[in-house]
Chains A and B, each alone.
Chain A
Amino acid sequence: MQTPPWLQPSDGAAAALQVAGQHWNYARLFQEGERISRALAEEGCGLLRLVAILGNHTAWAYGAIIAAHRLGYGYVPLNPALPGQRLANMVCQSQTRTIVVPEEGLTALEGLLLALSTMPEGALPTGEKPPFTWICPDANGFGDLPNRFPQHRYIGQEALDRLAERHPSPIPAPSSLAYLMFTSGSTGQPKGVPVTFANLTAYVEYWQNHHAIGPGDRVTQPADLSFDLSIHPIFVAWASGALLCPIPLHSRLAPAKFILDTRLTVWVSVPSVAMFLEKVNALQPGVFPSVRLSLFCGEPLPVRTAEAWRQATPQGRLLNLYGPTEATVAISAYEWQGSPSSAEARSGIVPIGWIFATQQGALLQAGEILNFHAGEGELCLAGSQVTGGYLHNPEKSAHHYIRTPATGETLWYRTGDWVQRREDGCLFFVRRLDHQIKWRGHRIELQEIDAVLRNACGHDFAVAIPWPVGKEGVEGLVACVAAAGSVDDAAILAACRRALPAYMVPTRIARMPQLPLNANGKIDREALSHSLTLHEPQGNR
């Protein structure tokens, strides 16, 4: 394996990053990366050699990624907006002892320190509670936290400057982790997906070879670092000498002005953003003339939105991407071409297209047989982008990562997505096989919300359901709770806010005399959805 392409900038003077009023060229990005890396010690990154980053909307969070990768370490993105308990769980699962906290993340630090200090010893895979090193590259003060939590080490801006320079490590081992991304987990805890340098390099090289961009391109970064869609723009842009342009958090709601002000040439987002722009009439023909390549990923792309976007970006190509975090961002693509594509779409949704030529896809059918031809089945994926299993979760890994007698040593990832495959290999998403949903691009295991609801309610008759579900997908989340019980709605929702990311907190609670059960004695979510549709006024969503 060679040095990853994103660690070899060819022009230090070229613009690399434009975020929150900070403009860094490649020379500055790598200087700051080197400076942060001075405080990263081998033992502090743990067995998995990971550095956590508590930050999003600041150049220093991006500098921390370079800091980790130049030493061959991976990173764990921690979103400061998440509850402290959840962050502490991720830190413990990752086994890191080093967390980079840019100034913007300091507000979340107290909650994380408190949560870490109250975690039971057994919660840590190593069975011990280590002291952590907190590195703040852009400020000196940690306030009174060092006095209140004196067991940890704190390195501020000036202390960092005094440390000795660090040379980069030769080349990361292919099997070393490039990043650890947490997704929603059905057991009530976030689930870690370790992605290696080999996985990430395979993904980036695919894009360099098939849809190359280069210096002069300005690439959207539409998401928090903890959302795996951020991986594409960061590493493809930096591997190509392009400029990375993260969208400010609140501008993401309808970023038409941002696209024009930034003169973006490459657009990456979940379809919801385009749907929002469409709803507020901002997606007019020809409105974004600078965009030459648009990529949508993370949820079904409606035909109407694809066509409106194509007309809004008349100079551009539009690709609909599909892929789970476990296969490194995306693994299939469909190019939208107007009328011919409309004729191919099914149920008003754009096809998810063809598996990348460098990877493999097959349909798992009855009897654990993999079908490589046309038909229907659970989509299974294999190849250099496909990861090797979940973190500290052998049971879940054994279920989702399989080998079959007919395909020998090849490791297949079962996606849980039921798809149809045409004779020419084009794939069409049909439905999920479990209770996972996509909500504005976020992947949510409903059972994870159920676990929090049941804990808060003190009984088992509480589930989350996606409702309403329109033609273009999920529009909201409702918690259905049996009327019995002494815990009021506000307390239940407050418990959800303490334990779950904002996008997983139900919008409201629907009280029901009793929850319907299916033939297997399980709570029947479909019946609940029908019941809400029958009884709830449209405005009460």
Chain B
Amino acid sequence: MNKTHVEQVVLEFLARHNGAPGTPPLAADDNLLERALLTSMGFIELIQILEEESGRPVDFTQVDPASLLTLRGLTTTFAAT
């Protein structure tokens, strides 16, 4: 899964999660919770989808979820380098 693919999955999820056809412009470091684009339940769902698609499970005993609340954080974690 490359960076573009991760971004695409995230944006599609956000659109679906918010019941709207598109997502408002999103900067790489915008916090998805603070911008009310994601609920806590939605966060868990999004992580599960990205884990499945990327084949990269997140070990939350090592990772603070606060680092996964931005597009940049998600691409860093799930995109193949």
| Residues in chain A within 8 A of chain B (CB atoms) | 248-258, 260, 272, 276-277, 279-282, 287, 440, 475-476, 497, 502, 505, 507-509, 539-540
C-alpha gap A248/B69 in the complex (Å): 14
Among candidates B43, B61, B69, residue contacting A260 with C-beta atoms closer than 8 Å: B61
* B30-81 at interface with A (beta carbon < 8 Å): 31, 33, 36, 39-41, 43-44, 47-48, 57-66, 69
User: For the complex, what is the distance from the CA of A117 to the CA of B52, rounded to whole Å?
Assistant: 51
**Which partner residue on chain A sits nearest B31 by CB separation?**
A250
Q: Are B60 and A476 interface neighbours, CB within 8 A?
A: no
Partner of A251, one of B16, B31, B59, B64: B64
Supposing A279-B44, A280-B48, A509-B19 touch, asked if A287 and B66 sit within 8 A by C-beta, the answer is no
Report if B23 contacts A (CB, 8 A). Answer: no
Contact of B40 among A248, A257, A276, A508 (CB under 8 A): A276
Q: Is the CB of B44 within 8 A of A257?
A: no
Given contacts A509-B19, A540-B16, contact A282 B40 (CB under 8 A): no
Q: Please give me the residue from chain A that is nearest to B19 by CB atom.
A: A508
> In the bound complex, what is the Cα–Cα distance between A250 and B40 (angstroms)?
9
Q: Which residues of A contact B19 (CB under 8 A)?
A: 507-509, 540
Cβ contact within 8 Å between A440 and B40: yes
Known: A250-B33, A250-B66, A281-B57. 12 other contacts (CB 8 A): A250-B69, A251-B65, A254-B65, A257-B64, A258-B64, A272-B40, A280-B60, A282-B60, A282-B61, A440-B41, A497-B36, A507-B39
Which residues of A lie under 8 Å from residue B63 when comparing CB positions? 257
B61 & A287 in contact (Cβ 8 Å cutoff): yes
Min CB distance A274 to B, Å, is 12
Shortest 10 CB-CB contacts between residues of A and residues of B: A508-B19, A250-B66, A282-B60, A253-B65, A256-B60, A256-B61, A254-B60, A254-B65, A279-B44, A257-B64
How far, in Å, is A442 (CB) from chain B's closest CB?
11
Pull 17 A–B residue pairs with CB atoms less than 8 Å apart, ordered by A.
A250-B65, A251-B64, A251-B65, A252-B40, A253-B40, A253-B66, A256-B60, A256-B61, A257-B62, A276-B40, A277-B60, A281-B57, A476-B39, A507-B17, A507-B19, A508-B18, A509-B19
Task: List residues of chain B with CB within 8 A of the CB of A251.
Answer: 64-66
Q: How far is the CB of A273 from chain B (nearest CB, A)?
A: 9
Q: How far is the CA of A255 from the CA of B44 in the complex (A)?
A: 12
B residues at A contact (CB < 8 Å)? 16-19, 31, 33, 36, 39-41, 43-44, 47-48, 57-66, 69
Interface centre among B47, B58, B60, by most chain A C-beta atoms within 10 angstroms, is B60
Expressed in whole angstroms, the Cα–Cα distance for A505 and B37 within the complex equals 12
Whole-angstrom distance between the alpha carbons of A281 and B56 in the complex? 13
Give the one of A248, A254, A277, A539 with max B CB within 10 A.
A254
Report Cα–Cα, A476/B16, bound state, in Å: 14
Q: Nearest A residue to B16 by beta-carbon distance?
A: A539
B61-A253 in contact (CB<8A): no
Give the shortest distance, in Å, between A16 (CB) and chain B (any CB). 24
Chain B hits for A502, CB < 8 A = 36
CB distance from A508 to the nearest CB of B (A): 3
Cβ of B13 to closest chain A Cβ, rounded Å: 10
Closest to B17 in A: A507
Assess the A276–B36 pair: CB atoms within 8 A: no
Query: CB distance B61 to A257 under 8 Å?
Result: yes
Choice from B36, B44, B62 contacting A280 with Cβ under 8 Å: B44
Chain A hits for B61, CB < 8 A: 256-257, 260, 282, 287
A502 vs B39: C-alpha distance in the bound complex, in angstroms? 9
The answer for the CA separation of A277 and B59 in the assembled complex, in Å, is 11
Contact A257 B60 (CB under 8 A): yes
Q: Which of A281, A287, A505, A509 has the most CB of B within 10 A?
A: A281
Cβ of B16: which chain A residues have Cβ within 8 Å of it?
539-540
* Chain A residues, CB < 8 A from B64: 250-251, 257-258
Nearest chain A CB to B57's CB is how many angstroms away? Answer: 7
Residues of A within 8 A of B36 (CB): 497, 502, 505
Chain B residue at minimum C-beta to C-beta distance from A260? B61
Complex Cα distance A253/B64, Å? 9
Contact status B41-A248, CB under 8 Å: no
A276 touches B66 (CB 8 A): no
Specify which of B18, B62, B66 is in contact with A248 (CB 8 Å cutoff): B66
Complex Cα gap A215–B11 (Å): 48
**CB-based nearest A residue for B69:** A250
Complex Cα distance, B34 from A502, in Å, reads: 10
Q: How far is the CB of B18 from chain A (nearest CB, A)?
A: 7
Question: In the complex, which residue of chain B has the Cβ closest to the Cβ of A505?
Answer: B36
A497 to B35, CA, bound (A): 11
Q: Which residues does chain A contribute within 8 Å of B17, judged by CB atoms?
A: 507
